[in-house]
Structure 1
Amino acid sequence: MTSTRIGLATCSALPRLDSDDRPLLDALTERGAVAEAVVWDDPDVDWSVYDLVVVRSTWDYSPRRDEFLAWADRVPRLENPADVLRWNTDKGYLRTLEDAGVPVIPTIWLDPDRHLSKRAVHTRMPAFGDFVVKPVVSAGAQDAGRYQPVSAQSRALAIKHATDLLDAGRAVMIQPYVTSVDTAGETGLVFVDGELRHAVRKHALLTGPAQPSDGQFATERMSPATATADQVDAAEKALAVARENVGGERPFLYARVDLVTGDDGTPMVIELELTEPSLWMQHSGTAATLDAFAAAILARA
């Protein structure tokens, strides 16, 4: 009997997967599968040999989104599938969530095709409260910066940040900085095959203007968390809207919904991660989540 063969897609900087994903190889092997870490842009890989390819540590995709999506279209059996990745790798999906009534952080969107002047960019930035400037296609807080409108220097840096991104042909989003992130952090709810498995807390990353990136993500400080009923409700609403748009009838194989708390206590979606999220298995408090992930993968193979 031929064993089920699973490819876990990663990037060349992490050829053996991120440390959080690595235990999945053993979990799949223990269930009788042949599991391998495979670099997504390796031209020598024959993706047809895998019964299923699962997107995991492909963390270098954002500067090469078109190439990444073309690869996803070529892989015969992929989870999450290419149409999900196409929808989710552009944070414009937040508009779809907002239109459907899901609470999200209010966002100002700047389109490079409009060729906005510096003055026009300036007028679109908040007059009060810290705010964040970041590209619509990005990952891991890369090319994101936090600014203060009361400081002329900080505001000038924000304008330069936004115009540099626009000049490079990258759409920009501007959001108020949610102050609860400094105290409570972000809460990430991890779902496997549609079921909430655990929650994690991510502590604040953005403290100032955007810094040059070497392509690697900033180190995140994580800890286990317990999701509230309101957070679970917001996350499940976001996933339901996503499924209506690209998910079909079956739950997503994996998902992470990142939430922050507004000034009125309302959980708001800051990101819906369906592409290559860290699932922070080491913070789940049990091996059952890893086992459930392995079982869900093999059920789809």
Structure 2
Amino acid sequence: MDADLAHISALASLCSTSRHLNNIATRHLYHHVRGKHWWRLARTLLARKDLAHRIRSMRIPSVTGVEEADCPPQVVAYYDSQRKIYLDAFLGDDRDEAMFHLGDDELYKGGGNIPVEILSSLCPNLETLESDIYYFGTFRFCAPHSMLHLRSIALSHNDTRYGMSLEHVAPLFRAAPNITHALFCMVSSCDKLDVTLPKLISLDFRKSTFSGSSLVDILSACPNLKTFRYEMGSAMVGDEQFTLREARDVFLAHAPKLESLCLDTSDNEIWKEDWDEAEASEVGGLFAERGVWLAFKPSIWGRRVRTSRPFAP
């Protein structure tokens, strides 16, 4: 991280040296950006479409709200226009529901997804995206097939309890159908995802807990999935968790291209009876017959000694 900051600082210094060096350094400076002061970055990207098109990698951490007096008018105008485009597609009660967290003052609040929605929609050539997001809908300003270069995403739920609903990320999936690798932290449900990601081959869930029906929805959207890693979360994330038997049946039925499956239940304190280590060994044999390598990490709870045992087939 220090090396990255030093690199950015050096490039920024070059920008003030001469016009020629400014042109060279700026191109590299905007190759990878962070969205900490998101309203300033958004103002620049709105004014300089050439820079917006150069951005290949973006990280948007948890951000605070911006004072109304400090928010650039260009950013306010862009938010209003994108919000109108999005809401005009809804009528009646659906419109009222779509208005959730898209109010006039949402731009100035902390703890929302608006910065993520604005910045991601301005960078059509993104290849990697990492962001913290909240419970509710996001990426609503990203039009379908508007981010065809995006290949890798890492999205984390920005709270210490409960979890994100994966269907709230569906607009990003529609905007970026060529995603190949996805990592999610703290997912608690997935209902009616209604998208297909034909190029997605790797899925990684960290500290997550969701039902068997959610697992079906997820796998149905990824027909060519090869690698699936699941690290079970605690009851603080969600109150539903698919069982080992459900995992067996769902993966065998809905993941025809699967090659590697890792199930880490080491933090499983609540659902231990549904994840028996001996039964996991039998399930591993079934997967082996299909050419799928299963790695299973049992719960540490109830043991006399807490171990850091690696995955074992």
- Do they superpose with TM above 0.5? no
- Pick the structure with more helix per residue: 2
Q: Which has the higher contact order (CA 8 A, sep 6+)?
A: 1
More strand by share: 1
Q: TM range, normalised to the smaller chain?
A: under 0.3
